[in-house]
Structures are given as C-alpha cells and as structure tokens.
Amino acid sequence: MNIMTNLKNQIIGKDIKIVFPEGNEPRVVQAASLLARENMLKPILLGSVEEVQAAAGQFSLEGCEIIDPKSYNQFEEMVAAFVEVRKGKATEEQARKLLLDVNYFGTMLVQMGLAQGLVSGAIHSTGDTVRPALQIIKTKPGISKTFGYFVMLRGEERYIFGDCAINPNPSSEDLASFACESAKVARMFSIDPKVALLSFSTKGSAKTEETAKVAKAMEILTEMNVDFDVDGELQFDAAFVPSVAATKAKDSKVAGHANVFVFPDLNSGNIGYK
C-alpha cells in the first residue's frame, strides 16, 4: 500500500480541515486541489480570492475554502483569543499585527478548533513556520522539545528522518525522546519501527564526546525498555546496508534494516534529508 492510499484510508470521511497558509503559492494550491478532489480533507487556503485563484491556474478550487485574514469576520474574536493564550506577552494592537501574518492566523484557526492542522513551509522558513505553533499551541504534555521529522520515499519504501529541522545540538535525553516520538510517527504510517541512532561511529569504533552522546541516548532507551527495536550508535551504511551491517554490527536487530533514522545533530540531519 503506498503512502497516499494509507493516509487516505486513515482520514477519509472524518471531515478534517487543514489550513494551508501559503494560498498564493501554486504548488500548495495544486496540492490542496488534489486533496479536495480525492475527498481526503477540506483545505482552507489563506489569501485573497484573487491571489488564490491566480495560484490555482487551471486547477479546480471546488471543495476548498478561501479565507482572507484581512477581511475575516471573526478577526476580533481571534485577536481576543490570541491575547488570552499569550497571557500578557502581546497587546491587542500587537495581536492584530501578528495575525495578519498567515502562519499566525492559520495557527490560531487550529487553536480555536476551526481546523485540525496546518501545512506550511513551501515559501516560508522553518522559523517563521514553527514559531507561531510554539507560541500558541506549544508542545504536548511530557515533551520538552519540538523536533522535525521527514517522511522519505524511495519507490514503495518509506523512512522517517529526524531531527532534520529544529535542534542544532540535541542532548542524549533529547535524542532518546526523538527516537520514541519518531517510532510513533512511523506507526502512524504503518511502518514497524526499527530505529537507528546515527553517528560517525558504529558500536564504539570511535570514542569522542559526540559519539558518547549517542551511546548515552541508547543507554537511556534501553533503561526505558521501549516497545520498538532500536540500536546505536550506528553509521548510516551500517544502519541501512545489510552487507555492511553483517560486518560492522552483525548481532544488531536494527543494523541493515533500519527505517527510522535519528541524526545526532542538525548539521547531519539537514544535510542527510536533502
């Protein structure tokens, strides 16, 4: 089953609304048009009707809702809700200005229960995309840090890469948390997680402060008795290539078969997914 079929089976018929703040970007509008046509969800495109229609080109907007933040009839209600959620960190005047930013506006639609999610970042930076969510929605209980994961497709094969977007130098505890959350993400996509904690060392082949961080993350996960296969530290070839794993980590349940890759820092993660 391919990833789109899997997603469609999970969400079809659930009346899910997803905000697409970048309603003036043709790629975004075309993707929203496809999702609406397949009855997978109801897209909410932000921008003026003229902007969105221009971006759509020949693609149909049937099934899509268009909201222009500048003329939104519940804008003052949103301003009040924003001031409340920021609790003294924003005045009404500041809120009105911020909510004209499509990412802040879209995130507030989610916060107010008017949508179930938001997809952005096609033409906005990671910071501009994530900042509103951190300020308004925040992390779920028990999670101290946000992290970014990517679903990587190779034919019919699916892999999870994380963190490739947010944390420059995560701690051992962070890496262990990322591994647990990445395993949950894998299961959302019907992937049986086999998690590799990546390093430039495999099973102590190098001993530095950087490799010790990854080894400690593995110790933490072992003590947690997690319900998924995990191993580290592993170099990428040992994690991914069976013939290399047979030489470098022959007793590992993960090496050579990993499908979830936890990178040790943002340098390697960002380079790796690109």
Question: What's the CATH code of the domain at 259?
Answer: 3.40.50.10750
Statement to judge: residues 196 and 89 lie in one domain: no
pLDDT of residue 1: 63
pTM confidence score: 0.89
- How are strands ordered across the β-sheet holding 65-67? 65-67, 42-46, 17-20, 117-118
**Cis before 233? omega within 30:** yes
Statement to judge: residues 132 and 183 lie in one domain: no
Non-local (6+) Cβ contacts of 55 within 8 A are 23, 24, 25, 26, 28, 29, 47
Scan for tokens 């999970």, then name that residue.
10
| Pairing relationship of beta strands 229-234 and 157-162 according to DSSP bridges | unpaired
Statement to judge: residues 131 and 42 lie in one domain: yes
Residue 59 belongs to domain spanning: 3-136
Q: Rounded distance, CA 115 to CA 107, Å?
A: 9
Statement to judge: residues 108 and 54 lie in one domain: yes
Statement to judge: residues 178 and 91 lie in one domain: no
Write out pLDDT tens, residues 22-72: 999 999 999 999 999 999 999 999 999 999 999 999 999 999 999 999 999
pLDDT of residue 115: 98
Question: What's the CATH code of the domain at 98?
Answer: 3.40.50.10950
Last residue of a domain, one of 88, 114, 136: 136
Report the C-alpha dihedral over residues 195, 200, 203, 205, rounded to 10 degrees.
170
CA angle 44, 11, 193 (to 5 degrees): 120
